[in-house]
Amino acid sequence: MSRRAFTPPHKRKQAPTRRERERATLTGMLTVTHSGYGFVKPDDGEKFPLDAFIPPQNLRQALDGDHVLIAISPGENGKGPVGEVLEVLTPGRKT
């Protein structure tokens, strides 16, 4: 009988939902503040000139310094775009 290695929840890949796949996406570097929310600086600054705000509940398991794929939607009341982390592409720190 073979045993599968245990993968901690924060290391498991979560498949994006259909709704997530239909939204605009971008890649960039995540910066997380001490208050728990984050900002993603897009890799393509010409196409996406503004950083995307990531509320704490939308960070999933991403950490400061990670290179991430996010889904974005327009911000409310003229604010910049709001995003949700879909996937960590490259971890920023080695644990």
C-alpha–C-alpha distance, residues 68 and 74, integer Å: 19
pLDDT tens across 26-75, in order? 999 999 999 999 999 999 988 888 999 999 999 999 999 999 999 998 88
Residue with the bigger pLDDT between 77 and 66: it is 66
Residue 6 has pLDDT above 70, yes or no: no
Report the alpha-carbon distance of residue 77 to residue 73 in Å, rounded.
Answer: 13
CB contact at 8 A, 11 and 60? no
- Statement: residue 4 has pLDDT above 80: no
What's the pLDDT at 21?
55
Report whether pLDDT(84) > 90. yes
Cβ(73)–Cβ(79) below 8 Å: no
User: What's the confidence (pLDDT) of residue 85?
Assistant: 96
Average pLDDT over residues 76-84: 87
pTM more than 0.75: no
Burial profile 35-55: b = 16 or more Cβ within 10 angstroms, e = fewer: eeebbbebeeeeebeebbbbe
